[in-house]
Structure 1
Amino acid sequence: MNTQTVLLLLLAAVVSLSLVVFQYYYANKRKDNLRFWLSGLRFIVFFGGFVLLINPQLTKIEYQTEKANLLVLIDNSSSISQSEGTVTAFLDALTESTEIGNKFEVQQYRFGTSIENSDSLTFDDTNTNISSALNTLKEIYASTNSVILLVSDGNQTLGRDYEYIDDVRFPIYPIAIGDTTRYEDLAIKQVNANRYAFLDNKFPIEILVSYEGDEDITTPLNVSINGSTTYRETVSLSKNTKAKIINVLLDANSVGVKTIEISTGTLPGERITANNKKSIAVEVIDEKTNVTIISEFLHPDLGVLKKAIESNEQRSVSIFTPKINAEILGQTDLFILYQPTPAFNGIYDFIKQNKVNMFTITGEQTDWNFLNSIQKRFAKKDYAQTEEIEPILNPAFGLFDLQDFSIEGFPPLLSSLGEISLNGPNDIVMTQKIKGISIEEPLLVVFKDNTDREAVLFGQNIWKWRMQTYRNDQYFIKFDDFLGKIILYLTTNATRDRLTIDYNSVYEGSSEARISASYFDDTFVFDGNATVVLIFKKQQGPQNVEIPMLLKDGYYEADLSSLSPGKYDFRVSVNNGNISKSGSFTILDFDVEQQFLATDYRKLERLAQSTGGQLYFPSQTEQILERLKTDNRFVPIRKGIQNIVSLIDFWILLAIITTALTLEWVIRKYNGLI
């Protein structure tokens, strides 16, 4: 309590006493004992009131010890399952050290594909993402005094290279688990192939074969399709030639999913042979969509459209000027008309005669007088003034699923100002916003009637959207899928399905095996209350298995990560089979964690050095514990927390004042003084 508060309390006592003396000893001439009790009660009332006004406070300092965080990050993948005893012994030594417990706040995490706060280890994760685990801890403990013990073999199968993780403000001490000895090993490191091939064509595969050893060796390389050998080659490797790339052309003779197995021979005494073979799958299809882009001039949008559309191997894109010959026009399944002018007159005549679907993209070079006269589905009163148009996604759009596509932060497109009118059945995908204000004009719209379909984008520079997608996600997939759905909508004239399913024909291992479905009611509004089930059966398997599909954010999904490798047939059914769709998929027998032979301790050491830590091995458990005990960077800090608390409780003092007033009134009433 400070001096000022003490003086105020003394002054309050003096003033209260003065008031009591004046009332009961100066102004009142009674001299009996009753005056003494009444004056005491009145003093309590006066002094209590002044204390409430002064509200005296005390400063209280509480001390607490803040320990540094010891974050034990343990690799839970199957690649170190053989070292389970080593990991357990290290953790036991860490847990039993009382000095470590006194100095650190120990937090244990395990990681595989993702990170979990858990001290239970199973060593059965099928992937390792070290960089994601480190980034998660970096964000959680960014402003704390922390140190990481990374217990891992250093072999990563997912995510960015952890060696180049940046902005880590605390040291990392890797504990290298596993065998550090370098053995002779022959491996198929990578196989590159397109997901789709076309019937009666040849399709390429690229094979990377690597060798760890000092001898000159030769090994057979075999390629088989569905168990039948189709290619064989002898590969020579040596100490100086550690790897070779083999390119093979295979024939697509029949439609369907082809399981392609690539294998090499084995070396004498080779410890791990699981990486001597690798399987992939290619789906052979017998149709291809031909898309023709018509433009009078070159523009970055043209290249982006071609690249995005051809990301699906079932589509081919050609770019021509309006002076295109009739033979190419006849082979086109979909036209993309980029900023039409009167030179497009013949193209529009062909489209009208042959009922071909089209995607029109307008911009500052568009001749709106021509476009308004050549077709009747949309029109624009052009003001000949260009403006930057920001997109707003229409949440009510439901012709096809856009749940994975976000336009937040997308750069504006360039368009001319003007009022747009739409005629005929249409659905608006996006609307326009200019300088932050929504103007309720369509930016992207799709049309559909009984004969054909059309889409219109009222803006140019869509190439910026694809670049922004890469900036957001480090890949183009979401933009390419978005544009692919528009192309798919425009290249099919089938009646819209109330049930749609999404799945891959081939899964490389079961960890990513999932099937999703969207179901719409009679008005084509997504139905989140439906009962959607997945019924699947392994080919040549004993019986059907039925599981419910779980409702996610705007779709239903079934997780099939527990399935064994093989070929499966399935059916998605809604409401007891009233609506259903079928398909098949293949899960390849592939475990990337079993492809590693030894611990990558060199990369772990570089990670330690870049963060101010040091690499250790399980045999150095005592050294790492001693290092942690003696490192002054992690000494517990004693902090004082200053709290200001009231000297009195408001309610208690108010009760005392009320009681004193009540007693005074009762006494005065009883003695006839009122």
Structure 2
Amino acid sequence: MESITVLYIILAAIVALGIVVFQYIYKQKAKSNIHWLLAFLRFVGVFGLLLLLINPKFSQKSYTLEKPNLVILADNSTSISESENDLRRLISELKDAKEVTDRFKITSYKFGSKLDILDSLSFTDKNTNISRSLLALKDIYAREQTVTVLLSDGNQTVGEDYSYLKADQNNTIYAMVLGDTTKYKDISVGPILTNKYAFLKNKFPLESYISYQGNTPVSATVSVKMNDKIVHKENLRLDAQSNFKTINIEVDANSVGIKNLIVEVTKLPEERNIENNRRSTSIEVIDEKTKIALISDIVHPDLGALKKAIESNEQREVTIFKSSTPNSSLEEIDLFIFYQPTIRFKNSFAFAKSKNANTFIITGTQTDYSFLNNSNVGFEIENGYPEQEVFGLLNNGFTKYDISKFELTDFPPLVSDAGPILITTPYETMLGTQIKGLDVQQPLMGVMEQNAGKQAFLIGENLWKWRIQTYRNSNDFVNFDEFIGNLIRYLTSSKNKTRLNVDYEKVYEGSSNTVITATYFDEAFLFDPNAKVTIKVTNTSTKNVQTNPMVLKNGYFEADLSNLIAGSYEFVVSVEKEAKSVSGRFVISEFEMENQFVSSDNEKMEKLAVSTGGKLFYPSQINGLLQDLKENDAYVPTEKSTENIVSLIDFKLLLGLIVLAFAVEWFIRKYNGLI
């Protein structure tokens, strides 16, 4: 308590005593016991009121004994299924050891590709991401003393290398290696690198590698097949020193359609694991490529961002031209993007109009609005306004196609010096405009349709910052690239609006989720959330048929087909009681990453444990782990104190005492006729 507060309390006592002396001693001639009692009650009441006005604060300390955390982190991937009994036994022994439970606060988690609470083990996760799980625990138990027991085979299929995880002084990791650590002779095929699309009559690159684990020299034959036809074959000789061979070839794309590619190496004598002797993927051969002209007279980062985003789909080719480019160079262009047009764009504007080509106009601080307003582009923009920052607002009512997945979180503003826009052509807003936190009811980005022609516009520059922010948010460019890609697909499509739209990949990796999405619109082209959309999937080889309802998500319907086995499939998406359906084909590659490993990776797990101050153990050494947890002096409960500052006014007892003192005083005075 501060010294000034103590001084105030003493002063309050003196004031209360002065009032009592004046009322009951100085003015009263007779001083009976009743007067002394009344004087005492008056002193208590007045002094209590003055204390409430001063409201001194008191500190209260409470002490708690905090146990360190013991986190059991169990691998739930398919590669652990053979060690299921060992894993369950280890978890049980850790939880049942009384000295451990007395010393630690125990929590259990399981992991595959992500971390989850351990309620049951299924061993169905198709990917293992140890580093992601350890980093998640690091965030959960930040600044708390934690011991983690990692129960795994150490084979990680996705994510950063966990053996280089940065050590944390509050977190010690003990690694318990499951599975067989014996090193067997093994030959395997690495990932196949190729394009998603190839163009008819062209060659496409294919790259992979063959790796060997063993000490004695071996010979093997590797072959590359496309639709069961061998397109490349070579003999290999590998040994302990030369244990790696790159396969780098070019394959002819002679016919249109989805082509299954298989890289396979022959089995070694006494080879234990042959699951990794074969890998497959698919490529779609198409007979045309969309050519897009990006016309600009200035150098700006937006040009690179647009080119990268559009060409993320290999069916599209973007060429950057000056406005002075001759018309002969633009003859084969399918879509024109005019970036910050000026009077010098007059010729290219006229050429695009003569071809009846679709366009995308992007304005900025160097745009000539007078030229643009006189070019009959379907809108007019007032000029003469200063530069200002404009933010985008997603229009969830946009009906041309599904934009609900576009995420604008933390996106920086664009820069524009445009005034109000007057649009004279039927249009739909994709992004609204927000200036200084206010929705100004003007489109920032939109599309227009007239006479079977399509046109898009964006009123602002520095679009490249959105692409960078997408990477900051998700460590990839998918959010931005898909948004721009869908717009380009809309502008380059000559098809009329359809009420049922389906989005899917032509090729799905075996370890990834197979997801197909659809949007359905009513006759007014408004999204219909009450529609019953179903998908019928047929395996083209076995003819097995699977029919499932598509689940309503946020603005679209989704079918999760991750239970399908590898193979080629046909599907039909239809709407109940409506004559609307969309069909397609896709391929699931035959690949299971968890089956690619021959033995457990005890070396990486030991490196992780040692770097964090822990140790490596094997299932037979569980008693050694328990002993270390029981006896290690670094893991002891910590006494923590908590100081709470409490105001006197919070004490209800004092308020009751004041009321009681005044009430008793009044009653005594009334009873003795002193009032």
TM-score, normalisation: structure 1: 0.86
C-alpha contact (below 8 Å) 1:509/1:587 kept by paired residues: yes
State which of 537, 541, 552 in structure 2 corresponds to 1:550.
Answer: 552
| Structure 2: gaps of 5 or more residues | none
Q: SS of 1:509's equivalent?
A: coil
Cα 1:20–1:408 shift into 2, 3 Å: same
- Partner of residue 534, structure 1: 535
Q: Which ranges of structure 1 fall in alignment gaps of 5 or more residues?
A: none
Q: Which residue of the partner structure matches residue 622 of structure 1?
A: 623
1:560 equivalent in structure 2? 561
1:160 aligns to 2:163 (yes or no): no
Query: How far is 1:116 from its partner?
Result: 1.3
Q: Secondary structure at the match of 2:384?
A: strand
Letter in 2 for 1:80: I
Deviation of 1:599 (Å): 2.0
Identify the residue that residue 428 of structure 2 maps to in structure 1.
427
Amino-acid identity (%): 40
Aligned to 2:475: 474
* Aligned pairs (5 A) from 1:359-508: 359-383=360-384, 387-398=387-398, 399-433=400-434, 440-508=441-509
CA distance in 2, matches of 1:353, 1:94: 77
CA distance in structure 2 between the partners assigned to 1:361 and 1:156 by the alignment: 45
In the alignment, what sits opposite 1:348? 349
Query: What is the DSSP-based 3-state SS (H/G/I as helix, E as strand, rest coil) of the residue aligned with 1:490?
Result: helix
Going from structure 1 to structure 2, the CA distance change for 1:543 and 1:339 (only over 3 Å counts) comes to closer
**Partner Cα distance (1:409, 1:168) in 2:** 30
Q: Deviations over 1:77-128 (max 9, x none)?
A: 1112222233233223322321111110011100002211115222221111
SS at match of 1:254: coil
**CA 1:44–1:523: 2 relative to 1, 3 Å:** farther
The 10-residue stretch of structure 1 (557-566 or 104-113) with the greater mean CA deviation from structure 2: 557-566
1:472-518 C-alpha deviation (Å, 9 max, x unpaired): 32222222111101101111232322222222222222651112222
Give deviations 1:401-445, integer Å, cap 9, x for gaps: 223323333344444344433221122333445566665554323
- Give the letter aligned to residue 144 of structure 2: T
Aligned positions, number:
663
Equivalent residues of 2:48, 2:658 under 8 A apart: no
* 1:145-156 superposed matches below 5 A: 145-156=145-156
Specify the code of the residue in structure 1 equivalent to 2:79: S
Q: Which position in structure 2 is the counterpart of 1:267? A: 268
Tell me the amino acid that sits aligned with residue 516 of structure 1.
T
2:105 equivalent in structure 1: 105
The yes-or-no answer on 1:606 pairing with 2:607 is yes
C-alpha distance in structure 1 between counterparts of 2:135 and 2:596, whole Å: 25
Report the alpha carbon displacement of residue 316 of structure 1 after superposing the two structures with TM. Answer: 1.7
**In structure 1, how many angstroms separate the alpha carbons of the residues matched to 2:423 and 2:382?**
12
Q: How far apart, CA to CA, are the structure 1 residues paired with 2:23 and 2:414?
A: 83
Correspondences of 1:577-616 after superposition (within 5 Å): 577-616=578-617
Q: Distance in 2 between matches of 1:71 and 1:489?
A: 51
Offset at residue 356 of structure 1 (A): 0.5
Alpha-carbon contact 2:221-2:235 (below 8 Å) kept: yes
Is the 2:430–2:446 Cα contact (8 Å) retained in structure 1? yes
Q: Do the aligned partners of 2:69 and 2:145 also contact (CA within 8 Å) in 1?
A: yes
The residue identity in structure 2 corresponding to 1:187 is S
**CA separation of 1:429 and 1:59: change in aligned 2, threshold 3 A:** closer
Mapped contact 1:78–1:124 kept (Cα < 8 A): yes
User: Which residue pairs with 1:134 in the alignment?
Assistant: 134
Superposed displacement of residue 649, structure 1: 5.3
Q: What SS does structure 1 have at the residue aligned with 2:634?
A: helix
Q: Deviations over 1:353-406 (max 9, x none)?
A: 221101122334433333222224122333285x25333223345133223323
User: Which amino acid counterpart does residue 205 of structure 2 have in structure 1?
Assistant: P
Counterpart residue identity of residue 354, structure 1: K
CA displacement 1:513-569 (0-9 Å, x = unmatched): 112222333333333333333333333435442334233x22222222222333333
Which letter does structure 1 place at the counterpart of 2:477? Answer: F
Q: 1:510, 1:565 within 8 Å by CA — same for their partners in 2?
A: no
RMSD of the TM alignment (CA)?
A: 3.9
**Worse-matched range after superposition: 575-584 or 303-312:** 575-584
Which residue identity is paired with 2:245? K
Distance 1:667 1:489, change over 3 A: same
Report which stretch shifted further, 629-638 or 44-53. 44-53
Q: Give the Å deviation of 1:263.
A: 0.7
Partners of 2:356 and 2:57 lie apart in 1 by 86
Which letter does structure 2 place at the counterpart of 1:408?
T
Q: CA deviation at 1:663?
A: 9.6
Q: Residue 95 of structure 1 contacts residue 101 of structure 1 at CA under 8 Å; is this kept in 2?
A: yes
Hey, what's the Cα distance between the residues in 1 that align with 2:368 and 2:59? 78
438-447 or 258-267, which deviates more: 438-447
CA distance in structure 2 between the partners assigned to 1:289 and 1:650 by the alignment:
83
What is residue 285 of structure 2 aligned with on the other side? 284
| Structure 2 Cα separation of the partners of residues 541 and 244 of structure 1 | 39
The 8 Å contact of residues 52 and 650 in structure 1, kept in 2 or not, is answered as no
* Separation in 1, partners of 2:164, 2:256: 44
**Residues 16, 43 of structure 1: 8 Å contact kept:** no
Partner of 1:329: 330
Equivalent position of 1:80 in the other structure: 80
Question: Secondary structure in 2 aligned to 1:190?
Answer: coil
With over 3 angstroms needed to count, the CA separation of the structure-2 counterparts of 1:665 and 1:299, relative to structure 1, is closer
Moved more, 362-371 or 279-288: 362-371
1:208 counterpart = 2:215: no
Cα distance in 2 between the residues matched to 1:353 and 1:12: 98
Cα deviation for residue 158 of structure 1 reads: 2.0
Relative to structure 1, is the Cα distance of residues 243 and 557 closer, same or farther in structure 2, using a 3 angstrom cutoff?
Answer: same
* Paired residues for 1:32-111 under 5 Å: 63-111=63-111
Q: Specify the alignment match of 2:199 in structure 1.
A: 198
Deviates more, 1:282-291 or 1:589-598: 282-291
In structure 2, the residue corresponding to 1:171 is in which secondary structure?
A: strand
1:620-666 Cα distance to aligned partner (Å, 9 max, x none): 32332222223333210233456789987589879989998999999
- TM-score normalised by L of structure 2: 0.85
Give the secondary structure class of the aligned counterpart of 2:191: strand
Q: 1:253 to 1:366 in 2, by over 3 A?
A: same
Q: Deviations over 1:313-355 (max 9, x none)?
A: 1112223333445454332111112232333323222222221
Deviations 1:9-49 (A, max 9, x none): 99999999999999xxx9999x9xxx99xx99999999789
Q: Distance in 2 between matches of 1:112 and 1:555?
A: 28
